[in-house]
Structure 1
Amino acid sequence: MNEQTTAAMSPTTNDEGTMNIDDLTASGPDADAGTVVRITTGAVRGAAAAGATAWKGIRYAQPPTGARRWRAPVAADAWDGIADATAFGNVAPQEIVPAISLGPGAEPDEDCLYLNVWRPDGGSDAKPVMVWIHGGAYTYGASSQPLFDATRLAVTGDVVVVTINYRIGALGFLDLSSFSTEDEVFDSNLALRDVLLALEWVQANIAAFGGDPAQVTVFGESAGGGLVTALLATPTAEGLFRAAIAESSPVTSMYGRERSRGVAERFLAAAGIGIDGAVSALRRLPVDRIVSASSAVYNDVPSTIPGTLAFAPVVDGDLLPEHPITVLSEGRGLPVPLIIGTNRDEATLFKYMKSPLIPITRDAIERMFALMLEDNPALAAPSRDQVLGAYRGARRSARGLDIATDIGFRMPTLWAAAGHSRVAPTYLYRFDFTTLALRLIGIGAAHGTELPYVWGVLDGGLKDPTFKLGGRRAGEALSRRLLARWTTFARTGAPGPGWPAYTEGGRKTLVIDREDRVEPDLDGALRAAWGDVVLSFR
C-alpha cells in the first residue's frame, strides 16, 4: 500500500509563503532540488528518469473509504515535510486478470486516488500538459500499467504528462443514489467526479512541475475515451482543459437512471444484500465482496442485454445532465479542439478474449437492435436489411465483428465528430496499422492496438506477438508520427500538416497505416446504411 510518508523535517517558507529549495537541498545528501516540488498540499520528491523526472503516487483526494465510500471525492489534506513520490499509488480494487499488467508491486486498495507526473528535462517552463485517463471497460486498469510509462511521450514531445487513477467497477460507476436516505447519501458518477477533481488538481499545481495550466489536453482510450467524451458534455468541466483526444470511445454506452437502478439491484443481489437492508450494509461490505459482485454483474448485464455495459457514466440529470451522444451530435459540447477516432477491427479483441461486452453473434446483434428500438420508439431507425446491406461484401464469419465494431464504436464516433465539428476544430482518424503476426492470429487493428505507438512503448514482453514476424521498423516509424501528431495537437490545438479538419461538407479522415493517407468521406457507404439517426440505449 502506498502511503504519503514524509521526512522528519518540515520545509521552511519565505515571505511569500513558497518553499525555500535551499532548505530542502540542505536537509541531506540525497535531497535533490530538481526532484523536489512544492504543491498546494505540501512538498513531493520524485526521481530522475531517462531525460525526465517522474513524480508517482501523489495523493489528489482523501481516501474514499468508510463513510466516503460511494461519495464524491474530497481534495487531499495537506501534509508536513516532503512526501515520497517515487512509487505508484494503490490501484483501484479489481479482479486481477493476466491480460492486463498493472505493474510490478501493484496493490489494490480503495485508497487509490493518486496521480503521476512526468516532466522532461531542459527547455522552458509553461510546457503543454497531457492528462491521461486509462481504459479497461470501466472495470479494469490503472495509471501504473507499464504501457503508460510516459517518459518517451514527455521527452519526445516536450510535454508534461499526468496519468491518473480513478475508482472503477461498482466503486466508481454503480449509481446508488436512488437508495439515499436523509442520513445516508450516495452520489452518482463517482469516477467522473474523480477525474474532474484530478483536473482541478492539475489547474492548481501543474505550474510547479513546469506545465502550463492554460494548455491542458485530456486524452484517453476505450473507457478512458468514454470519460473524455463525457467530459465534453459535462458543464462543470468547462475551463479545466483546452483540447481533447478520444481514442475508441464508446460514446453511446452511457445510460439513464432507470437502467442504472436495474444494475444496482443486480449488484445487490450478487452481493447477497436485500434492497430493504441496502443502506446499512453497503458501506460495511468487504471490498473483496464488492469486486466479486462487480465481476458477476459485469458479465451478466451484456450477456442478458446485448450492447450494454454494467458500469459506465450515468446520465443523472445533475453532473451529466444529458446523454453525451445527444450533446455532441447536436454540436453542444464544450467547444474545444478534438481528435477522435477508432480502430478498423475494434471487435476482434473482444472475440479473442471471449468477452461478453460486444455482441458478435447474429442472435445477440438482432436482440440488441430490438432492445435499442424499444428505447427509441420515436426514431425512424434504419431497417435490418438496410444495415446488413452495407456488409454484403464481407465474409459471413466477419459480418458480426464488423457490425459490432460499427455500432459500438465507429458510428457513435461519426455522430460525435459531425456534431462537434460545428463548434470546434475536429480531427477524425481510423487506425488501420497491423503486423503480419496480429493479422494471422485474427487480431488485426483491434481495440487498443494503437496504444503502444501513442506511448512509444513497443516492447510488450516475451508473450507479445506483435513483432514476432516482422514489422518493427514500420511500427517505430508509425510511433514517431503518432507521438508528433498527439503532442503537436496538445501544443497548438491542431495535429500538424497532412491532417485536415473533419467537416460535414468534406468529411476528410486520416487513415493511420504504414503510410498515412487522407480519405474523403471514408465512411460514406457506412453512413448511408446506418443513416444519421443517433441510436443509443437510454
Structure 2
Amino acid sequence: MQRRNFLGQVLTATAATTLLNHSTLANFYKRNKSSVAEEFVIADTKLGKVKGVSIDGVNIFKGIPYAGKTSGEYRFKRPGKLAPWNDVLDATKPGAPAIQPPRRNEPDPSEDCLFLNVWTPANDGKKRAVMFYNHGGGFVIGSGAAGGQDGANLARNFDVVVVQTNHRLGLMGFLYLDQIAGPEYEGSGNNGMLDIVDGLKWVNANIKNFGGDPNNVMIWGESGGGAKTSCLYAMPSAAPYFNKASIESGPGVRMFDKETAHETTLQVFKELNIPISDWKKILDVPAADLLALQNKLPSVAPFQEKNKKKGMMSRNAGGFGPVVDGKALLANPFDPIAPKISKNKPLLVGWNEDEFTFFAWQSKDTEFTKLDFEGLKAKLLHTYGDDTDKIIATYRKSLPNATAPEIFIAISSITMMGLGSITIAEKMVEQKAAPVYLYNFGYKSEMKIPGTDYPMGTPHAMDISFKFNNESANKPSFFGGNRPEKAIASHNFAELWTNFAKTGKPFTKEGPGWPAYNLQDKPMMRIDTQMEIIINRYPEIIELWRSLGRI
C-alpha cells in the first residue's frame, strides 16, 4: 500500500471515528453531570438581550446566534445578515449543530447552525482572558456543546471566559465552487472556517458584556479543532481577533490545494448527476441527500505528504476541509513557513503519547496486541516498504524494553499527530518571533481496549476532558479510568492552558518552568500528575523520520 494512501485511510478513520468521540463521550459526561440550575441571568449583545442560566457560580449562555441564515439562498455563501431582536432571547439550550448524523441531547442538525455558547464566572465587566475553542470531529462532525468540553469548570476554577461555536461542516461548509459558480460563491471552500471568523468577530464586539477581554483571546482546539486553529492562525480575516493559540493532536500543516478541491467538487456533481453547466441545481438538493452523498466520499481530514518524485505536496481528491484558495487561506498554514501574520502570537502545540489506541478501540482492532517482531515487520512492510527494517531497528534501539505492540502504537501515534506538531514547532522557531511551546500529554489510563489486556494509555481525545478540568477524583472517566490521581493531571493541564490564555506563557504554581522550544535543547513538557521538562526527547526516532522526509 502506498504511504500516502495509508495515511489517507488513517485520517479517514480520524474523521469517521471522531463521531463517536463527540457523541459517545458527550453522552457519558452528560449522564454524570449533577449540577442544578440556580437562577437566570440576562446579558446584553449588540443585537439584543439574551437569557442564560447561573449554575454553581458560572453563568452559561447557549445557542446565541452569531451570524444569519446559511440555508436557502445562502447555501454555500456567506451568511445572511442577522437581524436584531426586541424580546429577551432564550439562551439556555444549545443551538442546532451543523448538518451531520443526529447528536443525542442536542437539537436536530440544521443548515442554519451559526450559534455559540459562553461560560463565564460573571457578567461583571471584568477583563478576563477568553478561551475560544474549536471543536473536533475532523471537518465533518461535532459541535460546541459536546459534554467532555463543557467549559464551566475552566470558568469556575480558573477565572476565564470560554466560548465555543457551531459552524458549517463537511460538504455544506467546504464545497469549493469558486471555479464554477462565480464571484457570489468566492471563498465557498472555506465557509466553515469563515464562520468561525464570524464567531471571533462576535467575541470582539460582545464579550466585554460577558466579563471577557476582547483584546486577550486565545484560540485552541483538539483533533479537527487543532487543524481549524492552524488555519485560523494563517487567515488574514482572523488575525485581528486573537492573540495566542494552541494546536492539540491535530497539526494542520497543509490543507487542500485548489486543484484537489475542484476534483472533489466534480466528483460531487457526478454523483448527483448534475452537469457543471447546471450547477445551480445543487442549491435545491435536500440537505439529507447531500449528507448521504458526503458519506460516500472519504471523510479525510486534510493531509498532504511530499511526493518524492514530484518534490511537491499531493493527496487524492475526496473529503472536505479548508482550501488554500489564495483569498481566505493564502497558503498552507505551516508549509513552507509559519504564517508571518501571526509571528508575534505565542503558540502551544503537541500530542498524546498513545494517540493510536483510540483508533484501535473504535475500529475494534485487537490483532495488533498479538504481534511479535516478525509480525510487526509484516504489518509495517505494506506501508514503509524498504524503510521497514530501519524503522524497527531504530525504535528497538531507542525503546529497548518496548514490545512489538508498543512499538506499533508508538510509530502509529507519532506519525499521525507527533511529526506535524514538531514541524509546526520548528517552523515557529525559524521565525525568531513569538515563542512556541511543545508538549506531550502522558497520563496513563488503566482502561483496556475491549477484548484485550492492552491498556488505552493516553489515547487520542482523552485530553479533552483533562484540559477542560472535567476529571474528578471520585467519578469514573470514559477514557481516563477510575484512579483518583487523574484529577491532578487534569488540574495541571487546565492550569497550564488557562495561564497561557491569560499571559501568553504556560505555567503552574508548583510545576517546573516551561522553556520555549528551541532547536538546540528541544525542550518538551510532559503533562501528567507530575510534570516534567524533557530535553530532546526521542532524538534517534525524530532523526529517523527526518531522514525519511517526514519532518
What TM-score results when the alignment is normalised by the length of structure 2?
0.79
**Structure 1 letter corresponding to 2:356:** A
Task: Sort the Cα spacing of 1:385 and 1:275 in 2 relative to 1 into closer, same or farther, 3 A.
Answer: farther
Give yes or no for contact 1:117–1:163 (8 Å, CA) kept in 2: yes
Cα drift, residue 234 of structure 1: 1.5
Tell me the distance in 2 between the aligned counterparts of 1:198 and 1:496. Answer: 28
Cα drift, residue 500 of structure 1: 1.6
Show the 5 A alignment for 1:52-451.
52-96=58-102, 102=103, 104-121=105-122, 125-181=126-182, 187-252=188-253, 254-270=255-271, 272-276=272-276, 279-298=279-298, 310-326=319-335, 328-329=337-338, 333-354=342-363, 386-392=390-396, 395-421=403-429, 422-438=432-448, 440-451=453-464
CA displacement 1:304-339 (0-9 Å, x = unmatched): x99877122111121111111215558774420111
CA displacement 1:424-476 (0-9 Å, x = unmatched): 111110011122124745422111111111112237999965465x41x2111
Q: Percent identity?
A: 26
Partner SS state of residue 407, structure 1 = helix
Cα drift, residue 286 of structure 1: 0.7
Match of 1:454 in 2: 467
Match of 1:477 in 2: 488
Match of 1:36 in 2: 42
Match of 1:6 in 2: none
CA displacement 1:144-181 (0-9 Å, x = unmatched): 11122211110111011111111111111222322214
Task: Sort the Cα spacing of 1:502 and 1:44 in 2 relative to 1 into closer, same or farther, 3 A.
Answer: same
Cα drift, residue 388 of structure 1: 4.9
Tell me the distance in 1 between the aligned counterparts of 2:296 and 2:473. Answer: 30
Give yes or no for contact 1:415–1:534 (8 Å, CA) kept in 2: no
CA displacement 1:270-327 (0-9 Å, x = unmatched): 4x33343651221111111111111121358999x99877122111121111111215
Match of 2:12 in 1: none
Tell me the distance in 2 between the aligned counterparts of 1:302 and 1:417. Answer: 19
Give yes or no for contact 1:106–1:144 (8 Å, CA) kept in 2: no
**Structure 1 letter corresponding to 2:411:** I
Cα drift, residue 368 of structure 1: 6.9
Tell me the distance in 2 between the aligned counterparts of 1:236 and 1:368. Answer: 39
Task: Sort the Cα spacing of 1:464 and 1:420 in 2 relative to 1 into closer, same or farther, 3 A.
Answer: same
User: How much is the aligned-residue C-alpha RMSD, in angstroms?
Assistant: 3.4
Task: Sort the Cα spacing of 1:408 and 1:73 in 2 relative to 1 into closer, same or farther, 3 A.
Answer: farther
Give yes or no for contact 1:217–1:490 (8 Å, CA) kept in 2: yes
Tell me the distance in 2 between the aligned counterparts of 1:302 and 1:461. Answer: 39
Task: Sort the Cα spacing of 1:185 and 1:412 in 2 relative to 1 into closer, same or farther, 3 A.
Answer: closer
Tell me the distance in 2 between the aligned counterparts of 1:163 and 1:202. Answer: 10
**Structure 2 letter corresponding to 1:423:** A
CA displacement 1:8-31 (0-9 Å, x = unmatched): xxxxxxxxxxxxxxxxxxxxxxxx
Task: Sort the Cα spacing of 1:454 and 1:77 in 2 relative to 1 into closer, same or farther, 3 A.
Answer: same
What TM-score results when the alignment is normalised by the length of structure 1?
0.81
**Whose helix fraction is larger, Structure 1's or Structure 2's?**
2
Cα drift, residue 63 of structure 1: 1.4
**Runs of at least 5 residues in structure 2 that lack an aligned partner in the other structure:** 1-38, 306-313, 370-375
Task: Sort the Cα spacing of 1:460 and 1:259 in 2 relative to 1 into closer, same or farther, 3 A.
Answer: farther
Give yes or no for contact 1:47–1:54 (8 Å, CA) kept in 2: yes
Tell me the distance in 2 between the aligned counterparts of 1:189 and 1:389. Answer: 43
Cα drift, residue 104 of structure 1: 1.5
User: Relative to structure 2, which stretch is displaced further, 398-407 or 57-66?
Assistant: 398-407
Task: Sort the Cα spacing of 1:355 and 1:269 in 2 relative to 1 into closer, same or farther, 3 A.
Answer: farther
**Runs of at least 5 residues in structure 1 that lack an aligned partner in the other structure:** 1-31, 97-101, 371-381
Give yes or no for contact 1:233–1:334 (8 Å, CA) kept in 2: no
Tell me the distance in 2 between the aligned counterparts of 1:401 and 1:296. Answer: 29
Partner SS state of residue 267, structure 1 = helix
Task: Sort the Cα spacing of 1:266 and 1:406 in 2 relative to 1 into closer, same or farther, 3 A.
Answer: farther
Tell me the distance in 2 between the aligned counterparts of 1:269 and 1:385. Answer: 43
**Structure 2 letter corresponding to 1:288:** A
CA displacement 1:336-383 (0-9 Å, x = unmatched): 011111001112212221299xxx99899777779xxxxxxxxxxx96
CA displacement 1:76-112 (0-9 Å, x = unmatched): 222222211111100111124xxxxx45143211111
Show the 5 A alignment for 1:504-515.
504-515=519-530
Partner SS state of residue 229, structure 2 = helix
CA displacement 1:22-65 (0-9 Å, x = unmatched): xxxxxxxxxx8x82222111111111111111111110111100
